[in-house]
Structure 1
């Protein structure tokens, strides 16, 4: 999917530049980044941005749950949400609209601490009511404004403690925007690049990376699901965010198949076949010709469920249209073949048609289990799961 994504992004970027120009979306003044000397000031910002992401996500779904518990029809939820949103908008008109103008004000560092707290808190509450009631409220711009206002407020406090740093509150707002959105969506690298593209501020790269990674650590620790996957989780879908290889798509059938297969010759009698099945407990027997090639398969039901002379040859009742799988096929292909054909035993053959093994659902599960054992989830995920289990 990389090539289509790259091509579409390039085309979209070219069209946007042709229609709207190549300048940044937000006007970013000089924030006074001084390099490595400023980085320690962004460590608390990264941690607090991660906590803000947790508040944003959990608060939204708490509000959604509150609307579902209301003793009124779901029809009235958007009405109630709109009333709440309107009341907040009347009290703080700056929360209305997309919010790009307010983001510009926050980045410019022209707002007081009280105004930042009011704007961020009101926008957060209005956004919760809008989305929680089932109406449209967007995600990107509201989260950027909320996190930007919070970051600028943290910056005002930080600059009060370190007045000689030469930074502005807008610098903290810029970094908090990327860090919070990345932690809330578990898309850290995307957020770093996205905010950089919006502002085209090269000096912000190091603080962006540091704070975004710290915020992501907090998000991974405290948020089992993200802003984008929580609803899917509540509907019963499990979205794994840890990187892992699909063993079903890489393991070969030859790695998991049973090689000690009990077979029977095509010229042997039904009495011989019944004796073998009764003594081994197997439910199917591959039928081989004198050269060892697979010519059919016989099942317990087909063997004992028909009126035939025990002296008849196995070849006379064996199923000849056998579903087989190649030894070099993947376990995933074998699993899909079993499901599509409704069979539980797949004879494994080489290029010459000779039987080399048997693949069953048990073998497929063994492959999946081996993949689960070899998968390496993030160390923070392991610690979080251990904490949940032990609590």
Structure 2
């Protein structure tokens, strides 16, 4: 977090020094007249979520269609360039980065029909270009497409819904944040980002409402964001759900096996062979009194074909043992198992006395507890909802007034 904050502060300071401190898009102030306009922006948020789904799925559909063409990958950008240029012949402002067009849309300088054509043309041109595998961005195209979409939807809502008219420019600003936040699965980033672009504080409440609703619509349909879908198709799954890692909350003392079978330091190799043949444990600690002095694994013993049964087991045990304490987290034990390629980690006290052992099975207890807790919470929520529904059904109707 600290490097992120420092980098952001430095970048913001440099941008202000080089380009000034004004907003990227100058928009007029909007008066939202209280709660009356929020239903319209809620509908806009739902529509923006649908638009985000269309943007994402359409892009990857176009990518798949390119792969089905009977030509080599080399020709895909060529075909995309031809399609991109063709769209530009009919709607020239769909070409380029589009910041000037975004500014015109946000300030309601264009007719609604022109904005609608611009949105469709930009969407098609972006699909054809980026889907072909050529280099290109996502931010500016999504901002232009979504702001134009917001203008069209806002104009329609102003005709249908009663109440004050905040202006189509306000719908354009809100649609930018809602669509980008949903497609990127970063709603709070989009809220702050668009606010920084416009510096219009009056828009912040409908901005938040529409963005979270758009994110809800998108996440109920798409598992990955526009940015991570590409990685998933390449086999890299990036999680977007946040929560506390249960392995960092559980300690080794909570999950370890305290009743540990051990070998005494005087045990022989023959005793070890017999026990490994009869039991299913993969390793045993070797102790001298209560003190841990080594650990021996099944593979270590089975590889000693030439060693006699009378030889001391300790001479063939691993003496440099990686250990954990009862206060260490389960995450620490898991990391040791992964790094050291072991399945058992002895647990010792401050005097290096053996107090238990932590195995892979013990670590699975952490995840099992988390799943049981989630099931109980889900079950409690479902029971609460069901009881509320039954209670509502049993409520007697009001007695009619006598006539």
TM-score (norm 1): 0.89
Larger mean Cα displacement after TM superposition, 236-245 or 147-156: 236-245
Q: Number of matched residues?
A: 378
Give the alignment of 1:347-366 within 5 angstroms.
Answer: 347-366=346-365
Retained in 1: the 8 A contact 2:36–2:163? no
Note the C-alpha offset of 1:211.
0.9
Is 1:287 paired with 2:310? no
In the alignment, which residue of structure 2 is the partner of 1:16? 15
In the alignment, which residue of structure 2 is the partner of 1:146? 145
Give the alignment of 1:19-58 within 5 angstroms.
Answer: 19-58=18-57
Retained in 2: the 8 A contact 1:35–1:203? no
Separation in 2, partners of 1:110, 1:318: 81
Separation in 2, partners of 1:300, 1:163: 78
Separation in 2, partners of 1:202, 1:29: 11
Note the C-alpha offset of 1:313.
4.2
Separation in 1, partners of 2:88, 2:369: 56
Note the C-alpha offset of 1:161.
2.6
- List per-residue Cα deviations over 1:80-134 (Å, max 9, x = no partner): 0000000001110011111111111111123222111100000000011111011
Larger mean Cα displacement after TM superposition, 233-242 or 342-351: 342-351
In the alignment, which residue of structure 2 is the partner of 1:84? 83
Assess, with a 3 A threshold, how the Cα gap between structure 1 residues 94 and 255 changes in structure 2: closer, same or farther: same
- List per-residue Cα deviations over 1:18-76 (Å, max 9, x = no partner): 22222111121233322222212212111101100100000000001111111101001
Separation in 1, partners of 2:368, 2:200: 47
Retained in 1: the 8 A contact 2:37–2:163? no
Separation in 2, partners of 1:186, 1:373: 28
Separation in 2, partners of 1:354, 1:198: 62
Assess, with a 3 A threshold, how the Cα gap between structure 1 residues 281 and 93 changes in structure 2: closer, same or farther: closer
Separation in 1, partners of 2:299, 2:220: 54
Separation in 1, partners of 2:270, 2:91: 89
Larger mean Cα displacement after TM superposition, 153-162 or 220-229: 153-162
What secondary structure, in the 3-state scheme, does the structure 1 residue paired with 2:327 have? coil
Note the C-alpha offset of 1:170.
0.8
In the alignment, which residue of structure 1 is the partner of 2:296? 298
Separation in 2, partners of 1:60, 1:22: 35
Assess, with a 3 A threshold, how the Cα gap between structure 1 residues 49 and 347 changes in structure 2: closer, same or farther: same
Retained in 2: the 8 A contact 1:32–1:168? no
Note the C-alpha offset of 1:368.
3.5
Retained in 1: the 8 A contact 2:79–2:132? yes
What 5-or-longer segments of structure 2 have no aligned partner? 383-403
Separation in 2, partners of 1:109, 1:156: 11
Retained in 2: the 8 A contact 1:103–1:144? yes
In the alignment, which residue of structure 2 is the partner of 1:180? 179
Is 1:328 paired with 2:324? no
Assess, with a 3 A threshold, how the Cα gap between structure 1 residues 97 and 163 changes in structure 2: closer, same or farther: farther
Retained in 1: the 8 A contact 2:29–2:202? no
Assess, with a 3 A threshold, how the Cα gap between structure 1 residues 43 and 283 changes in structure 2: closer, same or farther: closer
Note the C-alpha offset of 1:280.
3.4
Retained in 2: the 8 A contact 1:345–1:358? yes
In the alignment, which residue of structure 2 is the partner of 1:388? none
Larger mean Cα displacement after TM superposition, 37-46 or 308-317: 308-317
Separation in 1, partners of 2:166, 2:316: 86
Note the C-alpha offset of 1:357.
1.2
Note the C-alpha offset of 1:316.
4.3
Retained in 2: the 8 A contact 1:283–1:300? yes
Assess, with a 3 A threshold, how the Cα gap between structure 1 residues 5 and 281 changes in structure 2: closer, same or farther: closer
Give the alignment of 1:41-120 within 5 angstroms.
Answer: 41-120=40-119
Retained in 2: the 8 A contact 1:268–1:314? yes
Separation in 2, partners of 1:35, 1:125: 37
Retained in 1: the 8 A contact 2:177–2:191? yes
